Chains A and B, each alone.
Chain A
Amino acid sequence: NAGVTQTPKFQVLKTGQSMTLQCAQDMNHEYMSWYRQDPGMGLRLIHYSVGAGITDQGEVPNGYNVSRSTTEDFPLRLLSAAPSQTSVYFCASSYNEGTYEQYFGPGTRLTVT
């Protein structure tokens, strides 16, 4: 199993550009989520999904969209990037929303200039 994979590893955007961060897992996990990691703030939940076709907002959802058309994939879309979205983004998954352990991907480092 590859586990949780994320692409790209690094990305630089200009303010106002859009892009999609990809996340995939091959563990047949129902629950997937996106976090952003900023210095001094730990990780904060952006959006999550409890299964295909079901998504909901986390703590910091503004400026981000998600969809979940398959169990495996959970892309995160930035519609109009802002410098405040410069961060490291992590995707995570777990067997279901009641499963304690979450598996994190390697992260995408995004810089918005």
Chain B
Amino acid sequence: QQQVKQSPQSLIVQKGGISIINCAYENTAFDYFPWYQQFPGKGPALLIAIRPDVSEKKEGRFTISFNKSAKQFSLHIMDSQPGDSATYFCAATIMEYGNKLVFGAGTILRVKS
């Protein structure tokens, strides 16, 4: 049973377009929701994260939208660039019990130039 469900599995976006990746979770005790970016042959790296007390967080072209009542959160990449082509993972954890991340299955993003 996957606690964090991520969609789509893959995504192709034109350069300059908006990339949107969605995640849904089951456990309402989750209190930290990070997104990780992974380039081929590399380990994941933290991209942006949000706590459930805010509905949106923006860092440059990357925005997390969070809907606590629907138990959903999403990553928006504005003005997508070929350099954004990577695999993106959403994750969740309960910080009180330690930093044990539960990951979504991942989304392979390709930005066409």
Contact = CB atoms under 8 A, between A and B. Distances in A.
Interface of A: 4, 31, 33, 35, 40-45, 48, 50, 58-59, 90, 92, 94, 97-107
B73 interface: no
A101 B46 contact: yes
Interface residues of B, number: 26
Interface string B72-113: 000000000000000001010001001111111110000000
B98 A104 contact: no
A33 B100 contact: yes
A23 B9 CA distance: 30
B60 interface: no
Contacts of B36: 104
A102 B98 contact: no
Nearest to A31: B99
Contact of A94 (B9, B99, B105): B99
Interface of B: 2, 4, 6, 9, 32, 34, 36, 41-46, 49, 89, 91, 95, 98-106
A98 B95 contact: yes
8 contacts: A42-B91, A42-B103, A42-B106, A45-B101, A59-B102, A94-B99, A98-B98, A102-B46
A99 B100 CA distance: 11
Kindly name the residue among A4, A43, A101 whose own CB sees the greatest number of chain B CB atoms within 10 A. Answer: A43
Nearest to A97: B98
Report which residue of A35, A41, A59, A102 has the largest number of chain B beta carbons within 10 angstroms of its beta carbon: A102
